[in-house]
Chains A and B, each alone.
Chain A
Amino acid sequence: MNGCMWCGTHFDSTYSFTELLFRPLKKERLCGACQSEFILLRECPLCRGCGRRHEDTYCQDCIKWQKLYPNYSFSNQSLFAYNVFAKEFMEAFKFNGDAELGQVFSKEVKAMLQKEDKHTVIVPIPISQRSKEIRGFNQTEIVLKQAGIIYQNCLEHIDNPENQSKKDRRNRMLSPQPFHVIDSEVGLLKQKKVVIVDDVYTTGRTLFHAADAVSQCGPTSIKTITLFR
């Protein structure tokens, strides 16, 4: 289908003649209108901690995190703002299970992760066993794979019957550590730069848990990257 992956509009009908002449040879995944709904965060002033749109150096949430994890100099980078369009998009991607939609992020994910040196270990956040049974795939792994990024599944999700997205914000902040590093992978993280990747940064709870688990293995640094903030 030669159309926008999201709204289905045919490209032939949305391009004017000159646009067709200068259209990039690579096949577009989204039409111009849908593409413009994704707000690139690197073009905005951001919080130095969590990478959300923020005028000051650190946002209130990050000041709290600093108190809770004083030894972790955290810095999260996110690609796009988690706006209404993004929520709807991720709903289709994750809950309808439209894995192909992950291709939309390939270009930006690749650009962001290719900056890392080649010894950096890229670790996706694992999903719960329950989500895996319902959805069949880990959305973060799919996005990395589609972008051609090599990653290591070092983390394991210790099952918790409740689904994270159904909990309210407060409950989520109190949730116990759901991750641990798989025994055989501990050595892989030692003395390495580690980048942890997730799809959405909501409260930061998930990523702080993951970073906490990874830090036990003695990495030289930990960074986190998400598609949305």
Chain B
Amino acid sequence: MDETIFYGRHLLRSEYTGEWDEEEEAMRLIVTEGFNKENSQLTCNRCGTLCTMTVSYPCVCQNRCKYCRQCIKLGKITECSHLYSLEEPNQFPKYAYPYLKWTGTLSKQQAQASKDIRESIDHNSDRMIWAVAGAGKTEMLFEGVGQALEEGKRVCLATPRVDVALELAPRLIKAFPEVSLAVLYGGTEVPYQYTQLVISTTHQLYRFKEAFDVLIIDEVDAFPYYLNDALYFASEKARKIVSSVIYLTATPDKSMQKRIKRREIEASILPARYHGRPLPVPVGIWVKKSILKTKQNDTHIIIRHMKRLIEEGKQFLLFIPTISLMEQLMPIFEHSFKQSTFEWVHSQDPHRKEKVKKMREGGLQFLMTTTILERGVTFPNIDVIVMNADHRVFTEAALVQIAGRVGRAPDYPSGEVTYYHEVWTRAMKNAIKQIKNMNAVAARSGYLV
């Protein structure tokens, strides 16, 4: 039995692909029940979800069992399941110092944040990093991570999306070429190996137990509120009792902003972009009637705006709240923009990647999208138009992220963001306030050039 597979992990027997040795199991593995049973309430020990199932189902144990639906994609936890683990021994090889081979330079604010992160890791305390889109958050983690690795600590960087995990991997391998690294996500073909550095989707954190001395959680604001409990449970379980968690966010929610202000959590704020130019401030424009209700489509304010950008040769993203609205707009756009090249993407689109690539290479004049492109994806020189910015999918965080797509490249540090709306929403107001506030802080701190 390969013991290392169980170091700091929390696995079902079916997740271990090697030969299962009953005797060895009895001798060494720490075994816990799949469910915690208290006052006739069942709580999943892997994901912390309370089981609300009212009936039991026939089970592999020949009896009837309830099971956990929340984490079933990782393998089914039933009342008769057991979870296996071994204490994290931090058994890692030593390399020549320094582990970090990255030689780039940090901006002034990155250098400050990097120092903060090093201190938090050193003191095994938690920290929130509030960094605007384009601040360069990966680089400012390097020193702290390097120092932790040199001390033999196990480090995990967790991100909600697979794309981001796959994009981070080569950057970390380049920065720490000698250190063993695993990239974990659902559907990976590579079998799990015990490594000192782990890049993982947040979902995969459920498979760990008291494993990490340092846990960095990216985009903590990316989850719908009802998933926050599960994420919190997963991260608290995956970290060691004595450890440091670094939370990264570009748009903390209201309650987190308050906690940062009251200094309830240590926080580092990075209000400026790496290139030192202020964030483009969105402009709200009132629309009398939606395009769908206008007879002369070409005279509609949004269509005129789009035509102007096409004439100027400026690429743009058009954000649309729902797939169904997108479908209704398609025939109108196909008519109004006959001469132009454009595409549309949404969460169910299998050709998403190719279309984004085509846009990035300049092969499209514009790209229509739902909120799926609100974060992560960058284009060098674009404007952004948000249609129906007053729709409920456009939360404060979404609107800030969307604005963050503009002016990312040092060669094209500016651009226009327009929120078209029929009513002013609190989300729009707060998003603009948040962006202006970040620019003011950046200017005061001398981070702008």
Question: Which of A's residues lie within 8 Å of B, judged by CB?
Answer: 1, 3, 8, 10, 13, 92, 96-100, 133-138, 142
Contacts and interface: CB of A to CB of B under 8 A. Distances in A.
A98 B72 contact: yes
A41 B338 CA distance: 37
A3 B49 CA distance: 14
Main secondary structure of the interface of B (DSSP, over half): loop
B73 interface: yes
B313 interface: no
B68 to A, nearest CB: 10
Given A13-B392, A100-B53, 4 more contacts: A10-B224, A96-B72, A136-B58, A142-B57
B201 to A, nearest CB: 16
B52 interface: yes
A96 to B, nearest CB: 5
6 contacts: A1-B226, A8-B227, A96-B73, A97-B76, A98-B69, A100-B57
A100 B69 contact: yes
A133 B226 CA distance: 35
A99 B76 CA distance: 11
Contacts of A13: 224, 392
Contact of B67 (A10, A92, A97): A97
A1 B57 contact: no
Interface of B: 52-53, 57-61, 67, 69, 72-73, 76, 224, 226-227, 392
A83 to B, nearest CB: 13
B60 A134 contact: yes
Nearest to B56: A99
Contact of B59 (A3, A92, A136): A136
Given A1-B52, A13-B392, A99 B57 contact: yes
A136 B14 CA distance: 14
B57 A96 contact: no
Contacts of A137: 57-59
Given A97-B67, A100-B69, A136 B224 contact: no
Contacts of A10: 224, 226
Contacts of B59: 136-137
Given A1-B52, A96-B73, A98-B69, A136 B60 contact: yes
Which of the listed residues A99, A133, A134, A135 has the most CB atoms from chain B within 10 Å of its own CB?
A: A99
A97 B72 contact: yes
B69 A135 contact: no
Nearest to A96: B72
Contacts of A3: 226
A146 to B, nearest CB: 9
Contact of A136 (B57, B73, B227): B57
Contacts of A92: 72
A218 to B, nearest CB: 32
A19 to B, nearest CB: 13
Choose among A1, A97, A135, A136 the residue with the greatest number of B CB atoms under 10 Å from its CB. Answer: A136
A183 B52 CA distance: 41
Nearest to B61: A136
Contacts of B53: 100
Contacts of B60: 133-136
Contacts of A134: 60
A100 to B, nearest CB: 6
A174 B252 CA distance: 61
Nearest to A5: B69
B224 A96 contact: no
B64 to A, nearest CB: 9
Name, among B57, B59, B76, B392, the residue most crowded by chain A CB atoms within 10 Å (CB to CB).
B57
Contact of B76 (A1, A8, A96): A96
B438 to A, nearest CB: 28
Contacts of A97: 67, 72, 76
A13 B394 CA distance: 12
Nearest to B53: A100
B75 to A, nearest CB: 8
Contacts of A98: 67, 69, 72, 76
B200 to A, nearest CB: 20
Contacts of A138: 58
Nearest to B58: A137
B241 to A, nearest CB: 30
Nearest to A101: B69
A100 B67 CA distance: 9
A21 B356 CA distance: 40
Contacts of A99: 57-58, 67
Closest 4 interchain pairs by CB? A136-B60, A99-B57, A137-B58, A136-B59
Contacts of B392: 13
Nearest to B59: A136
Contacts of B76: 96-98
Contacts of B69: 98, 100
A142 B436 CA distance: 57
A99 B392 CA distance: 34
Nearest to A142: B57
Contacts of A100: 53, 57, 69
B81 to A, nearest CB: 11
A138 B73 CA distance: 20
Nearest to A9: B224
A99 B59 CA distance: 10
A191 to B, nearest CB: 32
A1 B226 CA distance: 9
Q: Which of A8, A97, A142 has the most CB of B within 10 A?
A: A97
